[in-house]
Amino acid sequence: MQWKHKDLLDTKELSKEEIASLLDKAEQFYTLNRNPIKKSDILKGKTVVLFFAEASTRTKTSFDMAGKRLSADTFAIGSSGSSMSKGENLKDTGLTLQAMQPDCIVIRDSSSGAAQYLAKNLDCSVVNAGDGWHAHPTQALLDAYSLKKVWNNSLDAFKGKTVLIMGDIQHSRVARSNRHLLQKLGVNIRVVAPSTLLPKDVKTWGVDVFTEMQDAIKDVDAVICLRMQFERQQAGLIPSIHDYVSRYCLTHKLLSLAKENAVVLHPGPMNRGIEIASSLADSGQSLILNQVEAGVAVRMAVLSSLILRSK
């Protein structure tokens, strides 16, 4: 497939065929990443800038690794070590980086719309590595890749499956990007959270909305647990952590209400014992580390598709 997008800003903009193409490519890189020599030279001579103005372990490291495994030169900057700490704005920072002739800028920022804004102002490719509550497209792609691996390695198997997204939906870019992507693949989506952690527009999402875990989890095929994003929350959205844990923490007992072979995902970082029981996170039903491994392959697929697209 000829890739046509300059940027990857959200899963909303991807067709089912484009999702399939990225996941097929990722499959090849997944195999490469398990070889003793994990190197391809397809991005030799290309440059990728990692501009992470918000903390990250998984996304930043895996984009860096993805670029390097494809032989691109990668450079990382963050807001604290950059001239943004002296007041330079996002547009000028982007134009400054672009003047150094990178092929792609990967951006994470706490403001929703930051990646879109940069993409509009720059000629090089921009990949959204998470912007505020808005979108985290590569997370949704790697989640789909991880599910595909356990669902007959086929996107056709997604049709008619039911996925529950649980927890702090309101502050979650992962929930939003997963919702767009999984709906394109024919998945029925349920969300569950205290009503104070549900987005105001959730009724327009085309999902089934629950406030009680016991009802929401019944017969689902997979559960995506979300982190309680205390750093983005106003005070008073839940009565207490104790109350939240007693009603929403995903336990083996709650998961027993799902389908027998249901799997559990979490984008990380996890609050063990808050949104997910620690023993469940480490169990055979958890895909959490599979997701991390998939992240490198998926980001290799994204970088190569964008940078090598025909212009």
The smaller minimum CB distance to ligand CP, of residues 138 and 305, is found at 138
The gap from C-alpha 4 to its chain's centroid, in whole angstroms, comes to: 21
Q: 201: which 2 tokens?
A: 């527009």
| Pairwise CA distance, residues 115 & 90, whole Å | 10
Burial class (CB within 10 angstroms; exposed 0-12, middle 13-18, buried 19+) of 178? buried
57 binding ligand CP? (CB under 6 A): yes
Strands (E), the chain: 47-52, 73-78, 104-109, 125-131, 162-166, 188-192, 208-210, 222-225, 263-265
Of 93-101, 204-212, 262-270, 275-283, the segment contacting ligand CP by CB under 6 A is 262-270
The smaller minimum CB distance to ligand CP, of residues 216 and 294, is found at 294
For residue 293, the minimal CB distance to ligand CP (Å) is: 13
What's 162's DSSP letter?
Answer: E
For residue 256, the minimal CB distance to ligand CP (Å) is: 27
The smaller minimum CB distance to ligand CP, of residues 3 and 170, is found at 170
267 binding ligand CP? (CB under 6 A): yes
The smaller minimum CB distance to ligand CP, of residues 64 and 221, is found at 64
304 binding ligand CP? (CB under 6 A): no
Tell me, by CB under 6 A, how many residues bind ligand CP.
Answer: 9
Q: How many residues does the chain have?
A: 311
268 binding ligand CP? (CB under 6 A): yes
Of 50-58, 98-106, 177-185, 211-219, the segment contacting ligand CP by CB under 6 A is 50-58
For residue 303, the minimal CB distance to ligand CP (Å) is: 16
94 binding ligand CP? (CB under 6 A): no
The smaller minimum CB distance to ligand CP, of residues 3 and 134, is found at 134
For residue 178, the minimal CB distance to ligand CP (Å) is: 12
Q: 246: which 2 tokens?
A: 């007693």
For 52-73, letters b (16+ CB in 10 Å) and e give bbbebebbbbbbbbbbbbbebe
Of 1-9, 145-153, 263-271, 274-282, the segment contacting ligand CP by CB under 6 A is 263-271
| Pairwise CA distance, residues 105 & 98, whole Å | 8
For residue 57, the minimal CB distance to ligand CP (Å) is: 4
Residues 209 to 238 in contact with ligand CP, rule: CB under 6 A: none
Asked if residue 129 lies in contact with residue 106, where contact means CB atoms within 8 angstroms, the answer is yes
Residues 112 to 131 in contact with ligand CP, rule: CB under 6 A: 130
Using CA atoms, how far residue 197 sits from 59, 131, 213, 222, in Å, is 25, 19, 14, 21
Q: 117: which 2 tokens?
A: 């804004």
Asked if residue 226 lies in contact with residue 168, where contact means CB atoms within 8 angstroms, the answer is yes
Using CA atoms, how far residue 68 sits from 23, 252, 297, in Å, is 20, 39, 12
5 binding ligand CP? (CB under 6 A): no
The smaller minimum CB distance to ligand CP, of residues 59 and 74, is found at 59
153 binding ligand CP? (CB under 6 A): no
Residues that bind ligand CP (CB under 6 A): 56-59, 130, 139, 267-269
